[in-house]
Amino acid sequence: MNAKLVLEDGTVFHGKSFGHHGSTAGEVVFNTGMVGYPESLTDPSYAGQILCTTFPLMGNYGVPEKVLENEIIKNFESHRIQVQGMVVQEYSRGYSHHSASKSLGEWLKEEKIPGITGIDIRALTKILREKGTMLGKIIIDGKETEFYNPDKENLVEGVSIHKPIVYGEGGKKIILIDCGVKNNILHNFLKRGVQVIRVPWDFDFFAKDFEHNDFDAVFISNGPGDPKMCVQTIKHVITALNKEIPIFGICLGNQILALAAGADTYKLKYGHRGQNQPCYLVGEKKCFITSQNHGFAVKEETLPKDWEVWMRNANDETVEGIKHKTKPFFSVQFHPEANPGPKDTEFLFDGFLEGLK
């Protein structure tokens, strides 16, 4: 079935439909990863976005069945596909992998997610690199739809849970604020023997009637959209800061922690999305290769004087981590839990928990 990708600047790419035969709209972003589409497509941080994969071949290893560990899906980052649509240069209908149970196209069709193949990905990526991330729409079989700007919505509300869930029986208790948490973050905490109390993005975990308010630390998860939409989350993190409760944030959690501390955030021109982003520790000759997926960042010059930039992106020097100079508060912009990507920085989970002893 004929399909086309239309960008808000009027650029049109023609291709063929695969997946769900329905039109869609969102923010068009690109990911530079060679593999990992099952994890990327199910990452809640991609909510509201049309994902363009720069590696030219997609679908060649199919899609596995869901595997559970501790009642949490292990091989996907959430319970469903989160993107608005998918754009690839060449879709492989044939697939081969020992764990595969269906094709990428079948999976997209099941979850009603449109896909378009036959696009000149190099040309599309160059446009996004020059002009920046922009709105777009995938039109299938001439069925028109309006442009959709996800930044004008609180996307976190749509990907967070609705009531608290408790995992594990460890000695230390961690409040995990779910702004669209990836499953592997949960797995990383649980395999380290802690109890995780997962709460909705706007939940007041300091309420006197909350049965788990005797926690040891707070974790702020990744998630989609503009962090300034998370007004209630920021309010509760401010309370945690004032009580000097240890805090660790990842991705959107980095931005929310900065906002709670009194700093500002801004939208990047095209964001960082992929599994090969180099980040270095400020003041040290140590660099890590990281997995990333974000479109916003912390504005360095607005950090209060008792906070400091902890890590930077080696490509563009943007802030990739902040920490308080004297208190147990820190966060990173990248994904130490990976999935997909390198696990170079998984030690951050250990450092966070060791600080609670």
Nearest by Cα to 115 from 246, 199, 21: 21
CA atoms within 13 A on the CB side of 320: 27
Catalytic-role residue among 27, 77, 320, 337 = 337
200: tokens are: 């909705």
Handedness of CA 226, 311, 41, 24 (dihedral sign): positive
Backbone angles phi, psi at 273, to 5 degrees: -145, 115
Q: Tell me how crowded residue 15 is: count the other CB atoms within 10 A of its CB.
A: 20
Q: At what angle do helices 252-261 and 231-242 cross, to 10 degrees?
A: 60
Backbone angles phi, psi at 301, to 5 degrees: -70, -10
Q: Is 211 a catalytic residue?
A: no
Instruction: Count how many residues are written for the chain.
Output: 357
> Quick check: 33 and 275 in contact, CB under 8 A?
yes
Catalytic-role residue among 251, 272, 279, 294 = 251
Rounded-to-integer distance, Cα 299 and Cα 97, Å: 43
Handedness of CA 318, 324, 181, 237 (dihedral sign): negative
Q: Is 251 a catalytic residue?
A: yes
Q: How far is CA 147 from CA 25, 77, 241, 320, in A?
A: 6, 27, 39, 31
Q: How far is CA 347 from CA 132, 192, 323, in A?
A: 33, 11, 16
214: tokens are: 């005797």
Q: Is 335 a catalytic residue?
A: yes
Instruction: Please list the active-site residues.
Output: 251, 335, 337
